[in-house]
Chains A and B, each alone.
Chain A
């Protein structure tokens, strides 16, 4: 299927926010389009989806881009807001949250873990630009080891969630997430397919999507804002899960698919409430 951006924009997005205030060469737009394309391929309507966002580049650039309802949470808390909203919404409504790496894996990690534990029906798209770029370019918890940023001038030397055998996906899987995938921005249709499966999963889904930041990350680590360099740099470090080796930073594809294996949060809670109301006990 072919989609021009104009078709998707007319159908789903607000032109008021386009063009966005993203930096030249920013890869976030590619990720954003992957999500909208997945929605379109699933033939979902504007009022089927409530779009949540957060802070930083990802939150600010994707907030209010959806023609339907949208909200933005403070730093790392959007998952908690979404959990309450999930209880109040009819089950057929879908919640998609486009957030950043700091929001998801730093300040919001505990809320994310508990949303996974509860298997709340939401799809979290983590747009990872490898650090805190909207605040100027500090390292984050998925910044590749050794990378030079404004707060790691000697090279990022802290233990993080993407090295030494650790991967944030293991944490989320252990916490009970029922769908997990990772794709770099240039994965194209492979990424669209994973996002579709994530949206269809009636439970907690997360797709980690690293993308290039030429302005801050590339200028510090690669010494250049040339977009080609950072796109190539990310692509060289990403491989499909089955081909990943010791040099792979981002193993891409579906990490975990346990669709339907656990009851969905709001269904579970309302089921219990209705039973207690009728019989006085569970």
Chain B
């Protein structure tokens, strides 16, 4: 193993290469630009191709094309670019084409603040394209080291589920320098818990069976066997069809191949002080969870019965972690509250669900401790510049 003091962008690049990614196409955007730069340096050294597209919509389509030809591909962007992925995301979902998409969140909406981290794409990663009738997989690391692992995992899942998988980070993860350990061989990869899955090959004409089965190879162009892939509702052989019954079958597969195989990623969460039925559960993902974990340690030291639950797989939403009726606090890098709405939905009826949001900077430990204390004493929360909603 090799150790580096490097950025999350470096870690993600190395993770992608370890997972077998040999194609990257992107469009420069802060704070994902350095990831493209790292790919442009590293991929040719590994016999891979880096391309820069005319816009994000093209970038993801180019990646889809490479994947359609049998290469493991990845693209990376920030929120304003991720929204331009909406069109190709639908294509990749409908055609069941494996792909990894990294989103380094910044303050929005639109261009917002280029140089500050944000978590405004929680729902966008669940509904990254139009039309509905699909399920999405999103992983959210909270460190550079974990970003590497999550990218490897994203490639594993995207191959097995035959679909695009999003890794949702933020500027602190991609641009921040940290101590990073990179495995140098397969044994070391296994030791670090990395799973990989090879690209398999479906020449056609079969497109897919109408079932929730995994591990069905994606259609690949080039053999001349009659493989078909289109943006229309497909038949079992990939022909376009305008029949609702056929679409039911298609949608069943897009939704339930993910929902019925959640055992593959429902272990991806982190619990802290959750074994003794805490009076307050602090829910977070991404970089805020690092502050939350420290704050919860301090709270415990001060005698507060607080636990922390960090989500790594955001979608499908891990409802199973919200079975207990208690107080919940969602800590997010946004002002409007996104994760909190899902916690509210998943938690038992009449649970107290609270929200602490800020945008562009992390919450401070004193702020968090004050909030914990007030919630535990049933006192109302005070927020600067923002009035709390009912929850």
Residues of A whose CB lies within 8 Å of any CB of B are 14, 16-17, 45-50, 53, 55, 60, 63-64, 67-75, 77, 80-90, 93, 110-111, 113-114, 269-270, 272-274, 276-277, 280
Question: Please, how many angstroms separate the alpha-carbon atoms of A49 and B226 in the complex?
Answer: 11
- B217-251: CB near A (< 8 Å → 1, else 0) gives 00001111111111110000011100000000000
**Which 8 A-B pairs have CB atoms at the shortest separation, nearest pair first?**
A47-B224, A88-B69, A84-B65, A80-B61, A72-B230, A84-B66, A276-B44, A85-B65
Tell me if B228 and A69 are in contact (CB < 8 A).
yes
Q: Which residues does chain B contribute within 8 Å of A55, judged by CB atoms?
A: 231
Within 8 Å of chain A (Cβ to Cβ): is B283?
A: no
Tell me if B49 and A48 are in contact (CB < 8 A).
no
Q: Which residues does chain B contribute within 8 Å of A74, judged by CB atoms?
A: 87-88, 90-91, 231
Q: Could you pull out 19 A-B pairs where Cβ atoms are within 8 angstroms?
A: A60-B232, A64-B239, A64-B240, A69-B223, A69-B228, A70-B228, A80-B57, A80-B58, A81-B61, A81-B65, A83-B65, A84-B66, A84-B68, A86-B65, A87-B69, A110-B54, A111-B54, A111-B58, A277-B47
Q: Which residues does chain B contribute within 8 Å of A70, judged by CB atoms?
A: 227-230
- B contact residues, range: 35 or more
Question: Please, how many angstroms separate the alpha-carbon atoms of A182 and B59 in the complex?
Answer: 30
| B44, B69, B228: the one within 8 Å of A84 (CB) | B69
Known: A72-B240, A73-B231. A273 touches B48 (CB 8 A): yes
Q: State how many angstroms separate the Cβ of B373 from the closest Cβ of chain A.
A: 52
Question: Please, how many angstroms separate the alpha-carbon atoms of A270 and B66 in the complex?
Answer: 13
Known: A88-B68, A110-B54, A276-B45. A83 touches B88 (CB 8 A): no
Tell me if A85 and B23 are in contact (CB < 8 A).
no
Q: Which residues does chain B contribute within 8 Å of A111, judged by CB atoms?
A: 54, 58, 61
Q: Which residues does chain B contribute within 8 Å of A48, judged by CB atoms?
A: 224
Q: Which residues does chain A contribute within 8 Å of B282, judged by CB atoms?
A: none
Within 8 Å of chain A (Cβ to Cβ): is B25?
A: yes
Known: A73-B61, A277-B45. A88 touches B71 (CB 8 A): yes
| A49, A68, A71, A81: the one within 8 Å of B62 (CB) | A81
Q: State how many angstroms separate the Cβ of A114 from the closest Cβ of chain B.
A: 5
Q: State how many angstroms separate the Cβ of A3 from the closest Cβ of chain B.
A: 21
A contact patch SS:
helix
Q: Which residues does chain A contribute within 8 Å of B225, judged by CB atoms?
A: 47, 68-69
Within 8 Å of chain A (Cβ to Cβ): is B64?
A: yes
Q: State how many angstroms separate the Cβ of A120 from the closest Cβ of chain B.
A: 10
| A82, A90, A270: the one within 8 Å of B65 (CB) | A82
Q: Which residues does chain B contribute within 8 Å of A84, judged by CB atoms?
A: 23, 25, 51, 61-69, 73
Known: A47-B224, A87-B69, A89-B69. A114 touches B49 (CB 8 A): no
Q: Which residues does chain B contribute within 8 Å of A82, judged by CB atoms?
A: 65
Tell me if A114 and B53 are in contact (CB < 8 A).
yes
Tell me if B221 and A87 are in contact (CB < 8 A).
no
Tell me if B51 and A269 are in contact (CB < 8 A).
yes
Q: Which residues does chain A contribute within 8 Å of B232, judged by CB atoms?
A: 60, 63, 72
Known: A45-B224, A84-B73. A60 touches B55 (CB 8 A): no
| B58, B73, B221: the one within 8 Å of A89 (CB) | B221
Question: Please, how many angstroms separate the alpha-carbon atoms of A49 and B240 in the complex?
Answer: 20
Given contacts A84-B69, A269-B51, 10 further A-B contacts (CB under 8 A): A46-B224, A70-B228, A70-B229, A72-B240, A77-B87, A81-B91, A86-B65, A114-B58, A269-B49, A273-B49
Q: Which residues does chain A contribute within 8 Å of B53, judged by CB atoms?
A: 80, 114
Q: State how many angstroms separate the Cβ of A14 from the closest Cβ of chain B.
A: 8
Tell me if A64 and B228 are in contact (CB < 8 A).
yes
Q: State how many angstroms separate the Cβ of A40 from the closest Cβ of chain B.
A: 16
Within 8 Å of chain A (Cβ to Cβ): is B363?
A: no
Within 8 Å of chain A (Cβ to Cβ): is B204?
A: yes
Question: Please, how many angstroms separate the alpha-carbon atoms of A75 and B224 in the complex?
Answer: 25
Residue of A nearest to B231 (CB): A74
Residue of A nearest to B232 (CB): A72
Known: A77-B57, A81-B68, A84-B68. A16 touches B239 (CB 8 A): yes
Question: Please, how many angstroms separate the alpha-carbon atoms of A60 and B58 in the complex?
Answer: 21
Within 8 Å of chain A (Cβ to Cβ): is B26?
A: no
Q: Which residues does chain A contribute within 8 Å of B223, judged by CB atoms?
A: 47, 69
Q: Which of A81, A87, A110, A280 has the most CB of B within 10 A?
A: A81
Residue of B nearest to A84 (CB): B65
Residue of A nearest to B63 (CB): A84
Question: Please, how many angstroms separate the alpha-carbon atoms of A110 and B48 in the complex?
Answer: 26
Residue of A nearest to B90 (CB): A74
Q: State how many angstroms separate the Cβ of B60 from the closest Cβ of chain A.
A: 8
Within 8 Å of chain A (Cβ to Cβ): is B80?
A: no
Within 8 Å of chain A (Cβ to Cβ): is B70?
A: yes
Tell me if B68 and A71 are in contact (CB < 8 A).
yes
Q: State how many angstroms separate the Cβ of B221 from the closest Cβ of chain A.
A: 4
Question: Please, how many angstroms separate the alpha-carbon atoms of A69 and B223 in the complex?
Answer: 7
Residue of B nearest to A272 (CB): B44
- B189-228: CB near A (< 8 Å → 1, else 0) gives 0000000000000001000000000000000011111111
Q: State how many angstroms separate the Cβ of A77 from the closest Cβ of chain B.
A: 5
Tell me if A69 and B61 are in contact (CB < 8 A).
no
Question: Please, how many angstroms separate the alpha-carbon atoms of A18 and B191 in the complex?
Answer: 56
Known: A68-B226, A73-B61, A80-B58. A50 touches B48 (CB 8 A): no
Question: Please, how many angstroms separate the alpha-carbon atoms of A138 and B128 in the complex?
Answer: 30
Question: Please, how many angstroms separate the alpha-carbon atoms of A17 and B49 in the complex?
Answer: 37
Tell me if B49 and A68 are in contact (CB < 8 A).
no
